[in-house]
Every structure is written in C-alpha cells, then in structure tokens.
C-alpha cells in the first residue's frame, strides 16, 4: 500500500507541466533528443531456477528500488505534428532485500544440507549464502517507442504565447540488458552485461515547450518484463527465468533539432 501511495504521488507530480498552456510549436518533420532521470517501483518478483541439482521456484519476492534515481535518454522524430517515433534507454534499478521471507516450491539436492530438500509453497528466508541478487548497476531497457502528442490549448497569462503543452500517450517495446551482481549458493557469480529478455510498456505524460526549441517532459509508465535468460552464475547449464511488472516516472529535458 505504501508503494502504491508513493507511486500515485509521483504520478500526480509528473503531470504538473500541463497547468501552463498556450499556442502551438511547429514540430512536424523534426528530430528531437531528451534525457533525464527516473524512479521505478516493482511488483513482487518470481524466479525459476533449474539445473541438474535443483529445480525450484521463488515467489513473492520484494524488490527494493534502492532509493536512487537512474538515467534515461532517447532520440526521435516527429513525422507529423502529433506522432513521433523514438529509440532510447531507460535504466531500471533494484536489489532483493535479504532477510525477507518468500515462498519456495520444488527440489534442491547436492547443494548444501541447509537447503537440500523438497518444498511445496514453503517459507524460506533469503540470506547471502542462499541468494543475493543486485541489479543496482541497472537493467538497461533498450526500447522503440511510438507516441501520440495531443495539443491542448487554454488561456495563459504569458503575452508572447511561447509556451505550449501536450498530453501524450505511447507504447514501447524492447530488450532488457542487465548488469548483475549475484550469488547463488556457492557457485561462482556472473557479473557482466548480457541480453536477458524483453519488456513492453504503455505510458501517459505531458510535454511542455519553452519557446521554439526546448521542452520538459514527464511520463508515467506501466510495463511488464519477461527475462528468460537470467545469469547469476558462470554455469552455462543453470537455467534461470524471471518475470515482473514495473511502474516508472520519467522527468526529462530536451530539444528539437
């Protein structure tokens, strides 16, 4: 509930720019670039682990967003006044909070007497000798986006009429490329960039032009990620998958080129 309240407050703040509205800025057939920062919230995460010694699932895992901002950048093109396509990178960040109790189902053998056994929706505590998973170096979400910008006009006290605001909606899809610091049992950890899976998201937001070239943009995103190739160890025979949903607030500055 606290996460949902925080996310709601962040969402309201992200839409503040639409309070100042005015005349149109020509943007058709123009390139743009923007960059800024984001904060994200995550659903409970599920992991599936499988190799010759174990086949088990951890669920109801709480992921901490690590209380930091991460970066986002993108470049795009307005092919008319209302539609744009873009490519970009959003950095997502979280860590698994050790000490939490999660659900486990499946079988573990030949690993550690403390963890060997069969489980069926049992409770287990995440400790460093069991699993430590840190994506605080970021999951890089490399996406392609298609957005609709709908101009909304209203009275403004600015006499020169050089402030323009747009509502925007969009759909994005792309690849998830994380850099992971992880420990699973006593296996040698893997720490490197790799293609882990894919994601998709929808977004709503606001875009506020300041003059003819510069703008600020705020976006609220809701998405889903399916990582079918998670790497925690150097063992190529270990198969790990992961699924989660995320909510994200982006605040960026940019310009028309």
Q: Quick one: CA dihedral 199, 203, 208, 213, positive or negative?
A: positive
- Mean local confidence (pLDDT), 205-210: 82
Give the C-alpha separation, 189 to 182, whole Å: 6
Give the C-alpha separation, 26 to 81, whole Å: 7
β-strand pairing of 30-42 with 139-151: unpaired
pLDDT tens for each residue of 18-72: 444 444 555 678 899 999 998 888 888 888 998 888 899 999 888 766 556 788 9
Give the C-alpha separation, 77 to 96, whole Å: 38
Give the C-alpha separation, 163 to 211, whole Å: 6
pLDDT tens for each residue of 30-39: 899 999 998 8
- Mean local confidence (pLDDT), 114-139: 81
In this prediction, residue 11 has a pLDDT band, given cuts at 50, 70 and 90, of low
Going from the N-terminus, what domains does the chain have, and what CATH number goes with each?
Answer: 2-256 (2.40.160.20)
CA-based angle 97:98:104, to the nearest 5? 100
Contact 77, 83 (CB under 8 A): no
Q: In Å, how far from its chain's centre is CA 7? A: 13
What's the burial of 66, exposed, middle or buried (CB within 10 Å: 0-12/13-18/19+)?
Answer: middle
Contact 49, 107 (CB under 8 A): no
Indicate the SS3 state at residue 243. strand
pLDDT tens for each residue of 72-116: 999 999 988 889 999 999 988 877 777 889 999 999 988 888 889
Per-residue DSSP letter, 20:
S
Q: Look at residue 151 and tell me whether its pLDDT is greater than 80.
A: no
Decide which of 143 and 235 is more confident: 143
Average pLDDT value for the chain: 80
- E-strand ranges in 113-237 read 117-125, 131-134, 139-151, 163-178, 181-184, 197-210, 214-227
Q: Look at residue 1 and tell me whether its pLDDT is greater than 50.
A: no
Give the C-alpha separation, 197 to 200, whole Å: 11
241: Cβ contacts below 8 Å, ≥ 6 apart = 47, 48, 226, 227, 228, 229, 230
Contact 185, 49 (CB under 8 A): no
Query: What size, in residues, is the chain?
Result: 257
Q: Specify which residues 233 forms β-bridges with.
A: 189
Residue 117 Cα distances to 127, 226, 237, angstroms: 17, 28, 21
- Mean local confidence (pLDDT), 246-256: 90
């Amino acid at each position: 509930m606290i996460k949902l309240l925080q996310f709601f407050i962040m969402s309201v703040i992200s839409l503040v720019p639409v309070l100042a509205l005015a005349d149109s800025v020509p943007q058709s057939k123009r390139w743009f670039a923007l960059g800024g920062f984001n904060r994200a919230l995550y659903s409970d995460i599920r992991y599936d682990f499988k190799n010759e010694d174990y086949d088990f699932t951890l669920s109801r895992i709480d992921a901490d967003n690590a209380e930091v901002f991460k970066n986002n950048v993108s470049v795009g093109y307005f092919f008319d006044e209302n539609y744009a396509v873009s490519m970009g990178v959003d950095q997502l960040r979280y860590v698994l909070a050790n000490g939490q109790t999660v659900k486990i189902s499946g079988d573990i053998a030949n690993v550690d007497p403390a963890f060997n056994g069969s489980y069926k929706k049992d409770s287990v505590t995440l400790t460093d000798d069991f699993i430590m998973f840190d994506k605080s170096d970021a999951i890089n979400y490399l996406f392609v986006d298609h957005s609709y910008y709908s101009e909304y006009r209203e009275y403004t006290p600015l006499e020169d009429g050089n402030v323009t605001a747009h509502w925007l909606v969009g759909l994005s899809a792309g690849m998830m490329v994380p850099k992971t610091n992880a420990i699973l049992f006593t296996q040698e950890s893997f720490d490197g960039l790799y293609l882990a899976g894919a994601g998709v998201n929808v977004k709503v937001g606001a875009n506020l032009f300041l003059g003819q070239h510069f703008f600020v943009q705020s976006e609220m995103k809701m998405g889903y990620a399916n990582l079918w190739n998670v790497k925690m160890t150097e063992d190529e025979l270990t198969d790990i998958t992961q699924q989660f949903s995320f909510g994200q607030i982006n605040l960026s500055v940019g310009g028309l080129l």
